[in-house]
Amino acid sequence: MTVKNKTVKMDAANKYIYFMKLDDEPKANKARMIGLQGQTSGTNTRQLQTLQTKMFDVKMAGSANQQRTVLAYFQTGDGLWDALKHAWKDQITIHLYRVDFNQVSGTKPSRQAPVEYAQCIISTLPNTETLNSVFQSSVVFEVQGIAQDGVITEDQLEDDAFDLGNALYGMLNPTEVGDGTATQVPGSVSTGKDK
């Protein structure tokens, strides 16, 4: 039933953030952030079966097949690329968590958010997608069985993941950015502490 005079509320697609944990990691390890929903975010399909009769075709839905595409991004020395390559090469099951930061509830340190959980293997692991850009790759995860919906708490994810997810496109103060080990750049405004 259509409700008149209601404002359409949109979810920000960039606040669906993926986390993973490899099946051969210690149980105590938390899931780590790997990237954002890819441009083709994945598929939920079923095999189609057709029974032909004399008058018409009868179609039935068969087994389910799911894929998830994650735009994974890497930094030098963070170990993420190595972990993904290990999972791809050695066929290690990946526990994939698609967290919806549009719907965070509760207060720190016990916030929670909706999550889709799936056990996956990697079918496609390109080295890199673009030239002259951040080292990133559209990784295709093949879901084993079917993904399940649930709720995840912030203590299950890497430290400060909820803060990073919520502040992904938020305002940062000038003293919150930069390199803590950098020396004064010529022509920049001094803090007065470098004299």
41 in any annotated domain? yes
Residue 142 lies in a domain: yes
143 falls within a domain = yes
% of the chain exceeding 70 in pLDDT: 75
Predicted pLDDT of residue 30: 95
pLDDT, averaged per 10 consecutive residues of the chain (195 residues), comes to 63 84 95 84 80 88 88 83 93 95 91 96 79 75 94 93 74 70 60 54
The pLDDT of residue 36 is 87
Question: What pLDDT, on a 0 to 100 scale, did the predictor assign at position 74?
Answer: 80
Distance CA 111, CA 5 (A): 32
Count Cβ atoms within 10 A of the Cβ of residue 26 and give its class: 0-12 exposed, 13-18 middle, 19 or more buried: exposed
Which pair of tokens denotes residue 28? Answer: 């105590």
Residue 65 lies in a domain: yes
Q: What per-residue confidence (pLDDT) applies to 169?
A: 62
pLDDT of residue 172: 67
For residue 117, how many other CB atoms are within 10 A of its CB? 16
Collapsing DSSP to helix, strand or coil, 162 comes out as helix
- Write down the pTM of the prediction: 0.77
Could you give the maximum distance between any two Cα atoms of the chain, in Å? 91
Q: Is residue 98 part of a domain?
A: yes
Q: Specify the number of domains making up the chain.
A: 1
How many Cβ atoms sit within 10 Å of the Cβ of residue 163? Answer: 13
Q: Is 27 part of a structural domain of the chain?
A: yes
Give the separation between CA 155 and CA 161, rounded to whole angstroms.
Answer: 9
DSSP helix/strand/coil, 185: coil
In a domain, 134, yes or no: yes
User: Who's near 169: CB < 8 A, 6+ residues apart?
Assistant: 14
Q: What CATH number does the domain containing 36 carry? A: 2.30.110
- Per-residue model confidence (pLDDT) at position 163: 85
Alpha-carbon span 39 to 69, nearest angstrom: 8
Taking a C-beta distance cutoff of 8 angstroms, is the pair 122, 144 a contact? no
In a domain, 88, yes or no: yes
pLDDT (0 to 100) of residue 9: 65
Q: Please report the pLDDT score of residue 152 as a whole number.
A: 96
Could you list the residue range(s) of the whole structural domain that residue 18 is in? Answer: 13-46+60-168
How far apart, in whole angstroms, are the C-alpha atoms of residue 190 and residue 93? Answer: 50
Do 97 and 20 form a contact (C-beta atoms < 8 A)? Answer: yes
